Amino acid sequence: MNRLRLVAAIYFAILLFAAALNYLPGIPVQDGKTFGIFALDIYDDGLHLVSALWAGIAAWAGAKAARFFLFYFGLIYFGDGLLGLITGSGYLDLGILNYGIQTLPFDFKVMANLPHLALGSIAFLSSVVFKADAE
């Protein structure tokens, strides 16, 4: 398995875990928010599950499919995290349409959007750095 497929397979596991967070015993939930930060609902769980399936299928299909996934997933997720950092609302969960710009503490916005910023940037950079693995 080359590096692109391996990274996509790791994303499959990470995103599957994110989809399951609300259903795992022992995960701290305060005021209906996972880790006291993330208000995950069935829509978010579905989005994480579909993203996990996309990652898993891409890893299984081959290096070109894995690179395609990492490139576009990276752009989409990083963009969502960046918008969330700036406005307090992302677009993947339609938060920017439903809630608009929110006045939240900056440190809270950082913590709430860090997963999408990190996953998005690592995915995108992997697609660029390991590009030769798909050729």
**Its pTM surpasses 0.85:** yes
pLDDT tens-digit readout, 10-61: 999 999 999 888 787 777 666 666 766 666 778 888 999 999 999 999 999 9
Q: What is the pLDDT of residue 36?
A: 64
Helix then strand then coil, % of the chain, to nearest 5? 75, 5, 25
- On whether the CB atoms of residues 55 and 9 are closer than 8 A, the answer is yes
Shortest CA distance to 82 belongs to which of 55, 63, 109? 109
Distance CA 83, CA 109 (A): 10
